[in-house]
Chains A and B, each alone.
Chain A
Amino acid sequence: MSDATATSKTTAPKTTAPKTTRQRAKGRPGMNKHGMRINPGTTRRVIGYMMHYRWRLALVALCIIVSAAAQAGASLFLQRLIDDYILPMIGAADPNWAPLLRALTLMAALYLSGIVCTYVYSRLLITVEQGTLKTIRDDMFGHMQKLPLRYFDSTPHGDIMSRYTNDADTLRQAISQSLPQMFNSLISSLAALIAMMVLSLPLTGIVVVFSVALFAFVRVLTTRSGRFFGEQQHELADVNAFVEESISGQKVIKVFTHEAATQKDFDKRNASLYEATRNANYYGNILMPIVNNMGYLLYVLLAVVGAALAIGGAGNVSLTGAGAYTTGTIVSFLTLSRSFVNPLGEVSQQMTSVLMALAGASRIFELLDEKPEVNDGRVTIVNASVLDDGTIREADHRTDQWAWKVPAGVRVRADIARMSPVGAGDGGTGAGDGGKIVDTANADRTQSAPAAKGTVVVTPAATLVRQRGDIRLNHVNFSYEPGHEVLHDITLFAKPGQKVALVGATGAGKTTITNLINRFYDIDDGEILYDGINVKDMDKTDLRRSLGIVLQDVNLFTGTVMDNIRYGNLEASDEDCIRAAKLANADGFIRMLPHGYRTRISGSGDGLSQGQRQLISIARAAVADPPAMILDEATSSIDTRTEEIVQSGMDALMEGRTVFVIAHRLSTVRNADVIMVMDHGRIIERGNHDELIAQRGQYYQLYTGAFELE
Chain B
Amino acid sequence: MVRHSDDTQRTAPDGGPNPADPADPAAATPATPAAATPATAATTKKSYKVNTPLGDDGEPLDAEALQEYTRDQGHKGDYRLIGRSMREYRKHAILAPAYVVGEAIVEILIPTFMAYLLDQGITAGNMARVWQWGAVLVACAIVSLVCGFASGREAAIAAAGFSKNLRHDLFEKAQGFSFTNIDHFSTGSLITRLTTDVTNVQMAFQMTIRTVFRAPVLAVCAWIFAFRISHSISVVFLAVIPVLLVALIVIAGSVHPIFVRVFHLYDVLNNNVEENLAGIRVVKSFDREEHEDSKFMRISQRIYDGFCKAESRLALNPPAMLLCEYTLMIAIAWMGAKQIVASGNDAALGLTTGDLTSLVAYAMELLMSLMMISMVYVMVIISRASVARICAVLREEPTMTVPADAATDVKDGSVEFSHVTFRYEETSEEPVLDDVSLSVPSGSTLGIVGGTGSAKSSLVQLIPRLYDVSSGFVRVGGHDVRDYDLDALRNNVGMVLQKNTLFSGTIAENLRWGNPNATDEEVRHAAELAQADEFVQGFPDKYNTMIEQGGTNVSGGQRQRLCIARVLLKKPKVLILDDSTSAVDTKTDAKIREAFAHEIPGTTTIIIAQRISSVQDADQIIVMDRGRIVARGTHDELLRSCEDYRQIWQSQTKSMAQPQAAGATAADATTTEGGADHE
Contacts and interface: CB of A to CB of B under 8 A. Distances in A.
Given A90-B340, A245-B504, A555-B278, A255 B307 contact: no
A608 B47 CA distance: 10
A111 B326 contact: yes
Nearest to A95: B341
Interface string A680-704: 0000000000100110100011111
From A241, A285, A620, residue with most partner B Cβ within 10 Å: A285
A310 B329 CA distance: 34
Contact of B330 (A107, A251, A545, A570): A107
Nearest to B189: A247
Nearest to A305: B130
Contact of B452 (A338, A642, A694, A701): A642
Interface stretch (B48-56, B401-409, B522-530): B48-56
B579 A247 contact: no
Given A16-B554, A641-B2, 5 more contacts: A86-B341, A114-B322, A126-B315, A518-B285, A606-B49
22 contacts: A77-B329, A82-B353, A90-B344, A104-B334, A114-B326, A118-B319, A122-B317, A126-B308, A239-B195, A245-B549, A252-B497, A255-B494, A277-B159, A558-B52, A575-B23, A592-B42, A606-B183, A611-B452, A639-B648, A640-B651, A702-B586, A706-B586
B44 A248 contact: no
A18 B540 contact: yes
B254 interface: no
Contacts of A670: 655
A284 B167 CA distance: 22
B457 interface: yes
Nearest to A79: B357
Contact of A506 (B164, B301, B504, B555): B555
B653 A710 contact: yes
Given A100-B337, A555-B279, A641 B648 contact: yes
B479 interface: no
B296 interface: yes
A401 interface: no
Interface string B535-550: 1001111001111111
Contacts of B148: 286, 288-290, 292-293
B300 A708 contact: no
A153 B552 contact: yes
A331 B330 contact: no
A459 to B, nearest CB: 24
A592 B20 contact: no
A89 B167 contact: no
Interface in B279-311: 279-289, 291-293, 296-297, 300-301, 303-304, 307-308, 311
B125 A327 contact: yes
B312 A123 contact: yes
Given A119-B316, A598-B22, A641-B647, A16 B270 contact: no
A308 interface: yes
A644 B5 CA distance: 11
Contacts of B312: 123, 126
Interface string B1-35: 01011111100110000011111010110000110
A426 interface: no
Contact of A255 (B22, B27, B49, B495): B495
Given A16-B558, A303-B121, A598 B33 contact: yes
A165 B266 contact: yes
A616 to B, nearest CB: 11
Nearest to B161: A274
Interface of A is mostly: helix
Contact of A12 (B548, B555, B583): B548
A22 B301 contact: no
Given A704-B667, A706-B656, A639 B449 contact: yes
B240 interface: no
A127 interface: yes
B659 A89 contact: no
Interface string B486-525: 1100110111011101011110000001101000000000
Nearest to B186: A602
Nearest to B192: A165
Looking at B33, B138, B142, which has the most chain A CB atoms within 10 Å of its CB?
A: B33
A368 to B, nearest CB: 15
Interface string B399-432: 0000000000000000000000000100000000
Classify chain A's interface size. Answer: 35 or more
Nearest first, the 10 A-B pairs at minimum CB distance are: A289-B148, A506-B557, A285-B152, A597-B22, A555-B279, A611-B452, A594-B41, A705-B587, A603-B275, A281-B156
Contacts of A275: 160
Contact of B579 (A145, A330, A637): A637
A567 B656 contact: no
Residue among A16, A108, A131, A255 with max Cβ neighbours from chain B (10 Å)? A255
Interface string A175-211: 0110000000000000000000000000000000000
A157 B293 contact: no
A19 B326 contact: no
B131 interface: yes
Interface stretch (B76-84, B174-182, B225-233, B434-442): B174-182
Contacts of B464: 254-255
Nearest to B272: A558
A56 interface: no
A258 B45 contact: no
B674 interface: yes
B444 interface: no
Given A165-B192, A603-B275, A16 B586 contact: no
Contact of B5 (A257, A279, A588, A696): A588
Given A114-B322, A153-B552, A574-B23, A296 B122 contact: no
A34 interface: no
A134 B303 contact: yes
A562 B179 CA distance: 26
B234 interface: no
A645 interface: yes
A115 B452 contact: no
Contacts of B141: 293-294, 296-297, 300
B408 to A, nearest CB: 12
A638 B274 contact: no
Nearest to A163: B273
Given A307-B130, A600-B49, A595 B202 contact: no
Interface stretch (B110-118, B215-223, B245-253, B595-603): B110-118
Most buried by A among B122, B131, B450, B451: B122
Contact of A589 (B8, B280, B344): B8
Interface stretch (A412-420, A464-472, A659-667): A659-667
Contacts of B493: 255
Interface in B648-678: 648, 651-653, 655-656, 658-660, 662-663, 666-667, 670-671, 673-674
Interface in A592-627: 592-604, 606-612, 614-615, 617, 620, 624
B451 A303 contact: no
B673 to A, nearest CB: 7
A545 B365 CA distance: 67
Interface stretch (A35-43, A260-268, A432-440, A443-451): A260-268
Contacts of B505: 24
Nearest to B121: A307
A534 interface: no
Interface in B85-142: 103, 110, 114, 117-118, 121-123, 125, 127, 130-131, 133-134, 137-138, 140-142
A379 interface: no
A289 B149 contact: yes
A19 B546 contact: yes
Interface stretch (A387-395, A490-498, A546-554): A546-554
A423 interface: no
Nearest to A330: B122
A567 B282 contact: yes
Nearest to B563: A252
